[in-house]
Amino acid sequence: MSFNHLPSITPEEVADRLNQGQSVVMLDVREADELSEGHIEGAQHIPLGQLVERYKELKAAEEIIVMCRSGNRSGVACELLTEKGFKVLNMSGGLSAWTDESLFNK
């Protein structure tokens, strides 16, 4: 995996899309125990360690915003999904950089 120029999106841009009512496909690749720290409603959860086996649960025709805690694991997930033909955006800074509390469920 090379991480060459993975397209990214900021947490603020994701929040703007959601607040404008846009249909946004999101994938959270954190571990199950991390979900108790909070999550964005509507994000599909597939831990990074299970993504190789479960990526077919996703629709390749849709743009997918991939997130984790800091943006590192989601970068790995984006690389894997790109190799499988998916159009993905890595949420830079991850959920640690998320500021819109109205969209964040704890």
Annotated catalytic residue within 14, 24, 25, 68:
68
Q: Examine the residue annotation and report whether 68 is marked as an active-site residue of this protein.
A: yes
42: left (phi over 0), alpha (psi -120 to 50) or beta: left
Check: CB of residue 73 under 8 Å from CB of residue 50.
no
Q: Which residues are catalytic?
A: 68
